[in-house]
Amino acid sequence: MHGDHRAGVKFGPQRQPLLCPCTEAGILRRRCRGPPIPLNSSSYSCPILATFAAQIVKVMINTVIFDMDGLLIDSEPLWGEALREVFSSVGVSLSPELTSHTTGLRTKEVVSYWHDYFKWDSKSPEQVTTEIIDTVTGKILRGGRAMEGLSYILDYFHARNFKIGLASSSPRRLIESVLQHLSIRDRFHAVTSAEFESYGKPHPAVYLACAKELNSNPLACLAFEDSVTGMVAAKAARMKVVVVPEAHRRHDRRFNLADLQLDSLLEFGDVQLKELGGA
């Protein structure tokens, strides 16, 4: 490393030092002597850092991708009920605390997780998976309620001409049932399910698939999540992430990984969008 090649670069709401790429492998043999300069400045003394900054400036957030369960619809309690009911039919007793351990995973992964531990043999994992999906779908259609701020947040991004997507761990047939139940299917330009990906959340595949379907750069995407598993998936996809956890999970320190944490979708507005890199 030669000299001090640090420039103050503003990423989102925080100012962080960025090491000039000239210092890597000695690309340039001179110092970048300029003072700390904001990201939107064109007066970097180092041409490589100036080019790098210009490329970042061009990526403005113009796409929003939502998780579904626990964020758009209050379905997490219904999932818990369905899991406990179906698992009890194979002699497995799960407390609410235990069912919360697998929040955000695909249904078949939840079943596989508990089958590996309890090793029941009265029903196949595939049958248990199907019964859980059927049970939770029925519960949602009978009593599933929209989360606070659902209409507001969809209207907010539609008014700003954002591309809007949904990336859920739930099976496609359940996603479609929920969207029809809430009468919001036409609000989304793309809907993707981790059911059809090789890996579910926390792998970023479903988020990347949604961004691709929307023809959006992942760096231009803002993701909304309610779980740690989903948050990690969106961050791994290189997206900005807003988390809106359930009340009893808000103090989970793992949510510090998110770019922004809210108690309600109603708390998001122009100030937050600007801080995260939106227009």
Please tell me which residue in 69, 74, 226, 259 is annotated as part of the active site: 69
Confirm if 136 and 73 have CB atoms less than 8 A apart: no
Please indicate whether residue 69 is annotated as part of the active site. Answer: yes
Distance separating alpha carbons of residues 188 and 194, to the nearest angstrom? 17
Confirm if 32 and 44 have CB atoms less than 8 A apart: yes
Give the SS3 label for residue 191: strand
φ and ψ of 43, to 5 deg: -110, 30
Token pair 């990347």 is at which residue? Answer: 208
Copy the structure tokens of residue 69. Answer: 């369960």
Please tell me which residue in 4, 67, 186, 252 is annotated as part of the active site: 67
Distance separating alpha carbons of residues 186 and 179, to the nearest angstrom? 9
Token pair 């069912």 is at which residue? Answer: 99
Per DSSP bridges, beta strands 14-19 and 6-11 are antiparallel
Copy the structure tokens of residue 82. Answer: 């369905």
Please indicate whether residue 67 is annotated as part of the active site. Answer: yes
The DSSP 8-state label assigned to residue 46 in this structure reads: S
Which of the residues are catalytic? 67, 69
